[in-house]
Chains A and B, each alone.
Chain A
Amino acid sequence: MIIRLKNARVFDPTHKKDGVVEDIYISQGRIVAQPSDASKITSSMDLSGKVVMAGAIDMHSHIGGGKSNIARMLLPEFQASKHYSEPEAHVCSPHCGHHATPNTTETGFRYIEMGYTAAFEPALMPVNARQAHLEMADTPMIDKGAYAMLGNDDYFLRMLASQQDQKAINDYVAWILHSTQSIGIKVVNPGGINAFKFNQRKLDLDENNRHYQVSPRQILSSLSRAVHELGIAKPLHVHCNNLGAAGNFQTTLDTMSASDGLPMHLTHIQFHSYGKEGDKQFSSAAAEIAEALNKHKHITADVGQILFGQTVTASGDSMVQQRNARHANPKKSVLMDIECDAGCGVLPFKYRDQNYVNALQWAIGLELFLSADDPWRIFLTTDHPNGAPFTSYPHLIRLLMDKHFRNEAFAKLNFDAQAMSNLLSLDREYSLYDIAVMTRAGAAGLIGLNDRGHLGIGAAADITVYTDQADREAMFSKPDYVFKNGELVVKDGKVIKVVWGATHTTKPAFDLGVEKDLSAYFAKYQTMQLANFKISNDEIADDGRGSIVVHNKQATSPQA
């Protein structure tokens, strides 16, 4: 059985196809070559004039796990705010919502309706991995995966403080990936969440954690090296120190050198691009950050754009969230110290276009997008839900692709903020090809999903079909068709079939001997057994809906 998608206008940057009109063939969930025997084609769909891309991949979205659920529990008022009029292109099911704390069903539905076929939870706390996977298992329609958080756990900091060799650290990192069924490693405010438990309120890149006497730079150097030497495709995912603080751009610039030239990804970089110029001592340092990003080819970044409206910030960064709690709107916050592993901070937030700081944050994000030269090294995110709910991606895409629309929005901002931004001087408009790079080919390449994010022979048939519209927000809000693993699951922006995606992981080789010391550590200091910490394959696959896909690449040999 072969499906033919005829006359598709293909945007597939992996194969350098920029609007090439061709036919695509699907068989058994994969894209296949044109069959020699045309009689095998069982159905055909004429896509003349339609824009066709691989399914989009969100490489950073808080979709599952403790803090997402705390955010839901904290904000029952969000659940009632259904049926938003914007974006109107959405077709809602009875229990749908477009707010910042969608339930798991809504999360899957809203993503697939926008043509996204995968999303990655960027802050899975190892001790909380089971919950994260339970929530992701209940998220239909899309593939998912997670980056496990390290760098604030006492086990790792003890290793670093006692100067254990890199091989021991590599084994621990690999063991965490296996045990938590993750595909990457994340570090949030390196050392800072841990330091906050010792009542340290701020931690700079070269400042020591009081207890362990190790610095964030050492943590980043060690973890980025482990990730590299283990052959994990996804570069170390870094939420820098000093998030949100005026003048933090210097920390961000300095952090770029902390991996000693090894690949490193700086996440939601908008929140880390602030200067302290001007009367209000808060300014844009997007130009400096973009210039450094353009220069340092080993660094990738996602933006974490903010968009105006009500949302909630859910972060592992308890140190910074403690400081931000006074800005919560409505005024409430949940802060947690968790299991000698990490922490979290959840607080609702309302970004307002007439607020100087918020307006400038909005402009800084766009300045970064427009000043970063290489769309393969910058990714489209709102750090859902921290900058805005992921449902606002179509709006963000329009801001990037439509200068007139962008400048009109800019003109409505707080005047002082307008005076502090160079956004009007940035004429760049992203092309459909650029968008396909950022949201498909680039994201898949970054994470190491070789058979996703493109439309080549052998790729998973995750395909999104749009009507080319001048209004890019309308276009990207409501694709005509979405195929998931070759099945037509969305028609005219509406889910017509419910499917369950896979969980993407990586499982590098390592020395199982690492469990000897870990067993002793768990028995002595943790309050659960090591055996129960580990998430088995069966736990993810046991209900017949979930499945695990392992992406491994060759490891480099550890350096002496």
Chain B
Amino acid sequence: MNLSNTASTSSHHACPACGLLCDDLVVDPTSGLSPATPCKKAQRFFAAALVVSNSSPSLAGKACDLNTAVQAAADILSTSQQALFAGLGTEVQGMRALLSLAEKCQATLDHMHSEASVRNTLAMQNSGWQTTTLSEVKNRADLIVAIGTDIVSSHPRFFEKLVWNADSLFNKGKPSVVYLGVDKADTAALVVAADQARLPEILNALNALSQADSRLSKLDDTALIGGVPLASLKRILEKIQAAEYAVLVWSASQLDYPHAELTVQSITQWIAQLNESKRVAGLSLNAGDGDISINQTCTWLSGYPSRSRFLADHLSYDTQQFSSAQQLKSCDALLWVSTFNAHQPPAYAGPIIAIGHPNTQFERPPEVFIPVGVPGVDNTGTLFRMDGSIALPLKKCRDSHLPRLDHVIRQIEAALN
């Protein structure tokens, strides 16, 4: 008996447009996503992926065949002493191939959204965290506290699928929603407006208020903390205390100020403290472009998440030094990968090998451009969801003749001098 044969091939497409990885989509190879799909982000993603503007590899803007482009890329990497592999917008199979090539080239690896994911990684590596996953949110969460994010801008179907759903296992009541530090007109929710930059102060106050003998709680309710009246913070806390299973949601990419990892840590330590007596869990929204998959794959294959460098005798990990921003100052070649979206490489004067979405536009034509298939549209693949526990297969929904990233990378590896 082979269970795999029972799966339908026309539906259950996992959508790589955001970290929710909704897999209830039906994609038509010609007309694209059904217009009934209630997600503008998915609509845009499939519309962009299904129009192929440029399927030919090129050298400095001049069309060439794939083998020529592969050899040119290999030549650049063979002479390079300090290559930067950046972007890394791919899924598990692509990252497996890129790691192998990086080891051969002794390259530095950094994902395009590491600036955000490193905030989470640093907080986690310093004190750990307590988190949950989407099905737990759907079935258990009776309170969503969105911190510094409205959630739907980056993850459009979050509330539709997980919060306002009619079906849940434990007959929970209608969940409440709190927005903290978000300018949101929502009369059904508790909205506590605050300046993003003052979230650290506010979260530290919430941590303190949660302690039994908090001196802060003795202040007058009108006292302002981070610009927010104490009464509003107490109200948030009351809601959490009254909930059976509160979920605190943050987005590391939207906490965009220096040392925002400390804000993430304030949230996670607050959660840890609340769990001494009740159940509360965290949920981090990812930034996309395979960020979770890259971190996972790098970690099991190399031991480290994003921002590492292969050296002759070991792998080095440094979330500051190996950022693209730092490395672009000193690297001697840039391999830019972005397969899900047509993100263009950063400004860089040295040789650029760009491999990715066929629609990618360039400020200057890169030395080598190899358009490859979009995972989940042109190729199969494996992608991790935002919560890190679920990996889903990405399906191919049309035959575009665009090569797979992992195949191209392995060909480059084979062509190295």
Contacts and interface: CB of A to CB of B under 8 A. Distances in A.
Nearest to A326: B276
Interface in A498-538: 507, 509-510, 512, 515, 524-529, 531-532, 534, 536-538
Nearest to A64: B300
Interface string B10-28: 0010100000010110000
Contacts of B128: 74, 325, 328, 332-335, 346-347
A492 interface: no
A45 interface: no
Nearest to A66: B389
Nearest to B93: A543
Contact of B303 (A72, A199, A336): A72
B242 to A, nearest CB: 14
B361 interface: no
A528 B390 contact: yes
Contacts of A487: none
A178 interface: yes
Contact of B1 (A130, A138, A154, A512): A512
Contacts of B231: none
Nearest to A200: B279
B65 interface: no
Contacts of A135: 300
Contacts of A346: 128
Contacts of A128: 389-391
Interface stretch (B31-39, B133-141, B188-196, B256-264): B133-141
Given A69-B299, A534-B7, A529 B23 contact: yes
B301 A94 contact: no
Contact of B382 (A76, A125, A134, A158): A134
A78 B162 CA distance: 37
Interface residues of B, number: 67
Of the candidates A78, A179, A331, A339, the one having the most CB atoms from chain B within 10 angstroms of its own CB is A339
Given A82-B314, A128-B389, A527 B300 contact: no
B213 interface: no
A524 B132 CA distance: 19
B382 A130 contact: yes
A141 B27 CA distance: 40
A339 B133 contact: yes
Q: Is the interface of B mostly helix, strand, loop or mixed?
A: mixed
Contact of A337 (B136, B297, B300, B312): B136
B393 A336 contact: no
Contacts of A457: none
Contacts of B238: none
A550 to B, nearest CB: 11
Contacts of B303: 72, 76, 78-79, 97, 101-103, 106
Contact of B317 (A76, A101, A197): A76
Contacts of A64: 300
A418 interface: no
Given A82-B314, A178-B3, A515-B6, A138 B300 contact: yes
Of the candidates A102, A103, A127, A539, the one having the most CB atoms from chain B within 10 angstroms of its own CB is A103
Interface string A341-354: 10000110000000
A340 B169 contact: yes
B239 interface: no
B234 interface: no
Interface string B152-184: 000000000110000111100000000000000
A525 B139 contact: yes
Nearest to A211: B170
A340 B135 contact: yes
A339 B170 contact: no
Interface string B124-146: 11111111111110111000000
Of the candidates B24, B167, B299, the one having the most CB atoms from chain A within 10 angstroms of its own CB is B299
Interface in B386-417: 388-393
Interface in A346-391: 346-347
Interface string A66-84: 1011001111101100100
Interface in A127-148: 127-128, 130-131, 134-135, 138
A2 to B, nearest CB: 35
Contacts of A68: 300
B187 interface: no
Nearest to A510: B1
Contacts of B130: 334-336
B30 to A, nearest CB: 23
B275 interface: yes
Contacts of A515: 6
B278 interface: yes
B116 interface: no
Contacts of B391: 128, 130-131, 134
B362 interface: no
B139 A331 contact: no
A536 B1 contact: no
Nearest to A508: B1
Contacts of B14: 532
B136 A532 contact: no
Nearest to B310: A95
Contacts of B82: none
A338 interface: yes
Given A525-B138, A525-B169, A105 B162 contact: no
27 contacts: A72-B303, A78-B303, A103-B303, A106-B303, A130-B393, A131-B296, A158-B169, A197-B136, A197-B245, A199-B279, A211-B170, A333-B128, A334-B129, A334-B130, A336-B132, A336-B133, A337-B140, A338-B133, A340-B135, A340-B169, A507-B1, A525-B139, A527-B133, A527-B390, A531-B12, A536-B3, A539-B393
Interface of A: 64, 66, 68-69, 72-76, 78-79, 82, 94-95, 97, 101-106, 125, 127-128, 130-131, 134-135, 138, 154, 158, 175, 178-179, 196-199, 211, 322, 325, 328, 331-341, 346-347, 507, 509-510, 512, 515, 524-529, 531-532, 534, 536-539
Given A95-B314, A337-B281, A531-B8, 4 more contacts: A178-B1, A197-B140, A528-B23, A534-B4
Interface of B: 1-4, 6-8, 12, 14, 21, 23-24, 92, 96, 121, 124-136, 138-140, 161-162, 167-170, 244-245, 272, 275, 278-279, 281, 295-297, 299-305, 312-315, 317, 382, 384, 388-393
Ranked 5 nearest A-B pairs via Cβ: A536-B4, A332-B128, A531-B7, A79-B303, A527-B134
